């Protein structure tokens, strides 16, 4: 983060603390309650979400050439493989012969991937290398029957995939070059993956995203946990295209009110959440990172999946460093399971039966307003004639 940006960000946050204010939207936003429980809308949203990048792995999961990881992204089975040049490529984990999975293990290391059904074999580059009784397929061009490939990029030690063949992928441009540089400056690019866990949540995906974007609830819901460290409803919001940075002030930020700007780093007195639309959050804290990936279930609007990665700038070298990271993870789990998800699960339950027509997002809920407005516009654009503007 540039020196002047650090100074201005510190001033913005301290001013908000002094005035008990935040960065505001221009007006209130009213959202139909049905957006969390509408099967037809969920189908359209899935089509939208599949057009954007999502994090599917960390570089630590690929130790050497041929290392692979299999996963599922909104119903699309993926096979991620480290190439000889050190890059990661993403393929559909589907045999081009009769559609079986090619690889059933969650991870490992191989030079060749063979479908167990008829033993069609694919190289780590996805190319079809061989098949038993090849004479039965005379006239078939093997070069056209490699594994289907998806756009894949490694950025900030994270493996990003768009589950749509041929889609554009440029994470630096998506984050915005200023924010991309800030993330790199935190040390995430050389990070070490400490923990990773995925949950199937009984709630609409937008509810889960809302929770990570919302600073309004920090000192309302989390009175005995997060509120001890962070200021509630006090944030600085900056947007670049379809990504944004949300910075939450720590309780300690007023300690540097009159300090020499060159003697401290505002990142030690705040929490920054870099959101990559629609459901990826890179949360940077002074001594660790949280990487969130939230996606909808491909079939049920009342189900979503959330993967959280806990990263350390470097691999822990001492037992004390390990204990600190474990403590951070435990605090996160406590707030999520006992507070956030315990409460937000009721939103999904109420969407179908609560007899409420609409929800209201306040001017102080700017990230939520931006997120819901963007999703609604993208869904509307699906049905709009080519070239026609979407309101």
Report how far Cα 291 is from the mean position of its chain's Cα atoms.
6
pLDDT of residue 1: 82
The DSSP call for residue 316 is: -
Q: What is the pLDDT along the chain (391 residues), one digit of tens a residue?
A: 889 999 999 999 999 999 999 999 999 999 999 999 999 999 999 999 999 999 999 999 999 999 999 999 999 999 999 999 999 999 999 999 999 999 999 999 999 999 999 999 999 999 999 999 999 999 999 999 999 999 999 999 999 999 999 999 999 999 999 999 999 999 999 999 999 999 999 999 999 999 999 999 999 999 999 999 999 999 999 999 889 999 999 999 999 999 999 999 999 999 999 999 999 999 999 899 999 999 999 999 999 999 999 999 999 999 999 999 999 999 999 999 999 999 999 999 999 888 899 999 999 999 999 999 999 999 999 976 655 555 5
Angle at 200 between CA 226 and CA 157, to 5 degrees: 70
pLDDT of residue 286: 86
Burial 194-210 (b: 16+ CB within 10 A, else e): bbeeeeebebbbbbbbb
pLDDT tens-digit series, residues 98-149: 999 999 999 999 999 999 999 999 999 999 999 999 999 999 999 999 999 9
SS3 of residue 366 by DSSP: helix
Report how far Cα 368 is from the mean position of its chain's Cα atoms.
16
Whole-model pTM over 0.85: yes
Query: How many whole angstroms separate alpha carbon 192 and alpha carbon 332?
Result: 18
Query: How many whole angstroms separate alpha carbon 284 and alpha carbon 288?
Result: 7
The DSSP call for residue 339 is: I
The DSSP call for residue 188 is: G
Query: How many whole angstroms separate alpha carbon 293 and alpha carbon 295?
Result: 7
Looking at domain 3-51+172-383, its CATH superfamily turns out to be Naphthalene 1,2-dioxygenase Alpha Subunit; Chain A, domain 1 (3.90.380.10)
Name the CATH architecture for the domain at 54-155.
3-layer Sandwich (2.102)
Run of H or E residues at 343: helix 341-353
Query: How many whole angstroms separate alpha carbon 53 and alpha carbon 243?
Result: 12
Sequence ranges of the domains in the chain? 3-51+172-383, 54-155
pLDDT of residue 121: 97
Upstream peptide bond of 124 is cis (omega within 30 degrees of 0): no
pLDDT of residue 387: 55
Beta strands in the chain (DSSP E): 29-32, 54-58, 67-73, 76-82, 88-92, 107-109, 112-114, 121-123, 128-130, 149-150, 152-155, 158-161, 192-201, 230-240, 243-250, 270-276, 280-284, 289-296, 304-312, 358-361
The DSSP call for residue 274 is: E
Query: How many whole angstroms separate alpha carbon 376 and alpha carbon 303?
Result: 19
pLDDT tens-digit series, residues 155-182: 999 999 999 999 999 999 999 999 999 9
pLDDT of residue 353: 86
Query: How many whole angstroms separate alpha carbon 391 and alpha carbon 381?
Result: 9
Q: Characterize the bridge pairing of strands 270-276 and 280-284.
A: antiparallel
């Amino acid at each position: 983060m540039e020196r002047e940006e650090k100074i201005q960000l510190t001033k913005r946050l301290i001013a908000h603390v002094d005035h008990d204010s935040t960065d505001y939207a221009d007006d209130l936003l009213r959202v139909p309650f049905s957006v969390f429980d509408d099967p037809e809308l969920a189908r359209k949203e899935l089509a939208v979400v599949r057009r954007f990048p999502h994090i599917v792995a960390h570089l630590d999961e690929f130790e050497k050439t041929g290392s692979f990881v299999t996963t599922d992204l909104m119903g699309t089975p993926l096979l991620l493989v480290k190439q000889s040049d050190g890059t990661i490529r993403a393929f559909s984990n589907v045999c081009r012969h009769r559609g079986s999975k090619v690889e059933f293990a969650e991870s490992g290391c191989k030079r060749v991937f063979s479908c167990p059904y008829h033993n069609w074999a694919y190289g780590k580059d996805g190319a079809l290398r061989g098949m038993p009784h090849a004479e039965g397929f005379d006239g078939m061009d093997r070069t056209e029957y490699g594994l289907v490939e998806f756009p894949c990029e490694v950025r900030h030690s994270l493996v990003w995939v768009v589950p749509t063949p041929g889609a554009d992928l440029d994470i630096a441009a998506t984050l915005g070059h200023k924010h991309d540089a800030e993330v790199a400056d935190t040390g995430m690019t050389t990070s070490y993956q400490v923990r990773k866990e995925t949950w199937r949540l009984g709630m609409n995906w937008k509810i889960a995203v809302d929770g990570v974007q919302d600073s309004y609830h920090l000192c309302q819901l989390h009175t005995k946990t997060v509120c001890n460290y962070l200021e509630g409803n006090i944030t600085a919001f900056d947007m670049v295209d379809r990504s944004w940075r949300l910075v939450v002030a720590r309780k300690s930020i007023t300690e540097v009110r009159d300090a020499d700007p060159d003697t401290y780093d505002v990142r030690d007195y705040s929490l920054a959440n870099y959101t990559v639309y629609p459901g990826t959050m890179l949360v940077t804290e002074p001594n660790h990172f949280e990487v969130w990936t939230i996606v909808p279930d491909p079939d049920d609007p009342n189900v979503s999946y959330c993967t959280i990665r806990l990263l350390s700038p470097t691999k822990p070298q001492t037992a004390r460093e390990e204990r600190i990271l474990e403590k951070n993870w435990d605090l996160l789990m406590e707030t999520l399971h006992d507070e956030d998800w315990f409460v937000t699960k009721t939103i999904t339950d109420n969407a179908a039966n609560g007899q409420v027509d609409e929800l209201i997002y306040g001017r102080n809920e700017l990230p939520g307003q931006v997120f819901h407005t963007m999703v609604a516009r993208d869904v509307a654009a699906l049905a709009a004639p080519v070239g026609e503007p979407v309101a």
